[in-house]
Amino acid sequence: MTLIAADTKYVVVGLGLTGVSCVRYLVSRGKHVSVIDSREKPHGLDAFKTEFPTIDVHCGDFSPAVLSSADVLVMSPGVALNTPEIQKAIAAGVRVTSDIELFLAEFDGRIIAITGSNAKSTVTAWLGEALRLGGHKTLVAGNIGLPVLDTLSEHYDVAVLELSSFQLELIQKLSADIATVLNVSEDHMDRYDSMAHYQQAKHRIYFGCQASVYNREDALTQPLVPTTTTKISFGLDTPDLQQYGLRDYDGLVWLAKGFEKIIPISELSLAGLHNASNALAVLAMADAFGNDRAATLSALTSFGGLPYRCQFVASVHDVRFFNDSKATNVGSTIAALKGLADREDKNIILLLGGQSKGQDLSPLASVTEKTCRHVFAFGEDAALLKRAVVTAEIVENMADAMTKAVGLARAGDVVLLSPACASFDQFKNFEHRGQVFNELVGVLK
């Protein structure tokens, strides 16, 4: 949908990185732009005013007068559509768009769109690497890396877009060449009123797609919308013909397409069954795109992973430390536990903590019971975590948890930071939490 009529008035809602990129894009195209933010002094406000001294900036609330003056609200994904002031403007006839829609109106390459409650950043980056090795000029963007509108000055053959549920709510019809929902588990229940509402937001990614890729072991990923597109599934079970999964050959477990064995999972660059699932998703999408299989296999065996996504940090006295700070929901933590667990021994010491975002924490109980020798809970919702995992020990902060974990750890153990919660109670963001964990491990060497 093209929204760039000459006299269109745009109000950019939210002055984060995405909002600033939207302003920069619209100004470059000669559009009438103003900005509104509910915060009194958003981070970077002074720098913004220096760059755009003539643009009106309204801070401190969502003024109905400012919002209703717009023809189009360019929404930042961090601002909920159901905010009353936004809903009132929409009811008055103001249109809503986003940076992704503005990008799609100009981008002339192919689109691969990826969402899921967990692992979407890893799969997006891994697939991007596979396509680059296949000789395709590949943009990796969206909820990962640079804001998409900052990339339009350069030509790309394909855009691999990581899209959150918040971003998908702001897209009318994506019409991707390939679209996938990797998994669906509870997340952002402080913003959605039900799992069904959250799932529906995720499934907007399938609207108009040419090929849908879904996780057949997770019924919530199977396309809800009527579609005549190509449907491809992946899973850790044995695959049917033309589908992707795992097969046993000669004592090894292989990634497979139907009966075709492709690569042993022991050769993947990222360890754990959860990463075998991620690799299957990458393989399925790369094949659907038409990527050179040898290039895909090269990426599957060489990709180094992303920081703070079940990242191996160090081994100290035969105790391995893994940093999964990006695990901000229960599903992600469960995936990490299942991926790293020793089936013969409860070998994991788990660090949980932060803001639980209204999630149902109870699924942690059975998985930690099978995989963890000890669990520490810290931060704002430590008491809620202990209510779910009754054996958990409450500590003040992550540093305290690390001190006690090191004291308990024995050779062969894994100390895993996989918080299942947001970080904003004690840290700036999940990256800051991950940095602090790495520093705590660093002093042990």
Mean pLDDT for 220-233 is 82
Q: What is the pLDDT of residue 7?
A: 77
Among 31, 118, 136, 143, the one annotated catalytic: 143
Among 31, 120, 136, 326, the one annotated catalytic: 120
d(CA 56, CA 286) in angstroms, rounded, equals: 45
143 is catalytic: yes
Domains (range + CATH), the chain: 9-98 (3.40.50.720), 107-302 (3.40.1190.10), 311-442 (3.90.190.20)
Q: What is the pLDDT of residue 1?
A: 42
Residue 189 clears pLDDT 80, i.e. is over it: no
203 is catalytic: no
Query: 329 phi and psi, to 5 degrees?
Result: -145, 165
Among 31, 136, 188, 357, the one annotated catalytic: 188
Query: 434 phi and psi, to 5 degrees?
Result: -65, -40
**3-class DSSP state of 262:** strand
Q: Using CA atoms of 326, 330, 334, 340 in order, give the dihedral in degrees to the nearest 10.
A: 30
pLDDT cut 90: percent of the chain above it: 84
Q: Which residue has the tokens 């057949």?
A: 216
Q: What is the pLDDT of residue 63?
A: 95
Mean pLDDT for 139-165 is 93
Cα dihedral 25, 28, 31, 36 sign: positive
275 is catalytic: no
Residue 184 near residue 334, CB atoms below 8 Å:
no
Question: Predicted confidence band at 420 (pLDDT cuts at 50, 70, 90)?
Answer: very high
Mean pLDDT for 41-46 is 92
d(CA 444, CA 156) in angstroms, rounded, equals: 44
List, for residues 340-395, the tens digit of each pLDDT value.
887 567 899 999 999 999 999 999 999 999 999 999 999 999 999 999 999 999 99
